[in-house]
């Protein structure tokens, strides 16, 4: 059973212009997506830069205004309802931001940064609060003396860990992790990812994992949605997406993963050329006359693809 459902979510930014600064058009940053979240599962959101991934995450936690659609959390409609700072929804849904540096107040010490969510949501005495902060630092593998330091005194990987500590401070149910490792060295990336997996198992956390890196998403996620221009082109289990991709855009993304094994490199190059050719030829089956992605249709219990019915029949 899912604890949260997102139904046909839309976030449109008005573009203003002209003499009277009126709204002349909209940026359709998120344009009708639906998802649901189950306890302990990790969901991936993949797509090229500017397709609306961060906007999706930010609108779910209430940092962007939702233009249409709804978010239902444990049976309650919480769409655009983040004003109450102490609500269960705000406590249970946390986010790790794409840019951990600018998401932390540079004038605050780590202990105050971590105390903020604790004060908002948990009623602790000063001693309990201090103990909880030490505990959080220990969970993310940071020393006790980090408490008195400022964000700029840490490396990128350490700051990302502090971002994780802040996100887990209130024992949330869902963490939205927006490119949590893309700014880090490969070795540190693996460390942080494995660490995120460990705490997921330990606390039964769910993740919405946002990334443009298909390798990272494969490693982390049970379900994956592929996003293009504010819409999902395909959605399914890890197996559906990696072993049985149907949408031409998904195939193109997968074929663009750089390969490091020399065997079969020539074959894969031919495959890439074929995918690229199909992308041009079959475009109409996957995008309408305005270039908009169709609505998703189910092709199995778990696998959904946005394409015309003839493309779906032909593709199987
Ligand atoms: N405040 C805003 N006002 C107007 N347009 C915006 C605003 N924020 C984002 N956009 C536009 O919305 C679209 C989606 O942006 P978003 O940041 O969600 O992309 P993204 O998928 O997270 O990209 P990246 O991988 O580069 O982080 C982009 O076209 C962007 O220009
Ligand atoms: Mg982003």
The answer to whether the beta carbons of residues 23 and 16 sit under 8 Å apart is: yes
The answer to whether the beta carbons of residues 196 and 207 sit under 8 Å apart is: yes
Task: DSSP for 232-269, please give it.
Answer: EEEEEEHHHHHHS--SHHHHHHHHTS-----TTHHHHH
Ligand 1 atom at shortest distance from the alpha carbon of 51 = 21
Structure tokens at 122: 């948990």
pLDDT at res. 283: 85
Q: Of 50, 208, 227, which is best to mutate to test ligand 1, by the most ligand atoms within 8 angstroms of its C-beta?
A: 50
pLDDT at res. 316: 46
- Check if 212 has its Cβ closer than 6 Å to any atom of ligand 1: yes
Ligand 1 atom at shortest distance from the alpha carbon of 57 = 18
Distance 230 CA to ligand 2 centre (A): 12
Alpha-carbon distance 316 to 311, whole Å? 9
Q: Which residues does residue 42 pair with via DSSP β-bridges, in sequence order?
A: 207
C-alpha closest to that of 238 among 249, 250, 255, 229 = 250
**Cβ neighbours of 134 (radius 10 Å):** 16
Q: Please identify every stretch of the chain with a pLDDT value under 50, giving residue numbers as ranges.
A: 315-316
Structure tokens at 282: 């079959």
Output the residue whose Cα is nearest ligand 1's atom 14: 52
pLDDT at res. 180: 86
The answer to whether the beta carbons of residues 150 and 79 sit under 8 Å apart is: no
The answer to whether the beta carbons of residues 65 and 80 sit under 8 Å apart is: yes
pLDDT tens per residue across span 262-301: 777 788 888 888 888 888 888 888 899 888 999 999 999 9
Ligand 1 atom at shortest distance from the alpha carbon of 227 = 21
pLDDT at res. 109: 95
Distance 28 CA to ligand 1 centre (A): 10
Alpha-carbon distance 250 to 140, whole Å? 34
> Which domains does the chain possess?
2-243 (3.40.50.300), 244-316 (no CATH)
Alpha-carbon distance 227 to 214, whole Å? 12
What residues contact 248, with CB distance under 8 A and at least 6 apart? 275, 278, 279, 282, 283, 285, 286
CA 287 distance to own-chain centroid: 24
């Amino acid at each position: 059973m899912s604890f949260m459902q997102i139904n046909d979510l839309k976030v449109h930014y008005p573009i203003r212009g002209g003499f009277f600064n009126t709204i002349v058009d909209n940026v359709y940053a998120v344009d009708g997506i639906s998802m649901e979240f189950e306890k302990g599962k990790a969901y991936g959101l993949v797509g090229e830069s500017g397709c609306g991934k961060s906007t999706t995450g930010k609108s779910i936690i209430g940092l962007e205004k939702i233009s249409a659609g709804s978010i239902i959390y444990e049976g309650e409609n919480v769409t655009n309802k983040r004003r109450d700072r102490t609500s269960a929804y705000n406590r249970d849904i946390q986010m790790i931001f794409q840019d951990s540096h600018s998401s932390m107040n540079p004038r605050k010490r780590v202990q105050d940064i971590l105390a903020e969510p604790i004060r908002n949501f948990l009623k602790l005495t000063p001693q309990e609060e201090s103990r909880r902060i030490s505990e959080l630092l220990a969970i993310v593998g940071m020393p006790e003396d980090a408490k008195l330091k400022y964000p700029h005194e840490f490396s990128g990987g350490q700051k990302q860990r502090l971002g994780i500590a802040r996100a887990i401070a209130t024992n949330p149910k869902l963490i939205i992790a927006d490119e949590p490792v893309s700014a880090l060295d490969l070795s540190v990336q693996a460390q942080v990812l494995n660490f995120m997996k460990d705490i997921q198992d330990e606390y039964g956390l769910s993740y919405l994992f946002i990334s443009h890196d298909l390798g990272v998403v494969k490693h982390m996620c049970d379900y994956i949605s592929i996003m293009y221009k504010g819409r999902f082109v395909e959605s399914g289990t890890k197996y559906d997406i990696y072993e049985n991709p149907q949408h031409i855009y998904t195939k193109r993304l997968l074929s663009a993963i750089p390969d490091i094994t020399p065997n079969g490199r020539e074959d894969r190059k031919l495959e890439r050329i074929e995918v690229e050719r199909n992308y041009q030829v079959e475009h109409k089956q996957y995008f309408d006359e305005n270039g908009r992605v169709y609505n998703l249709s189910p092709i199995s219990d778990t696998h959904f693809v946005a394409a015309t019915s003839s493309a779906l029949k032909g593709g199987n």
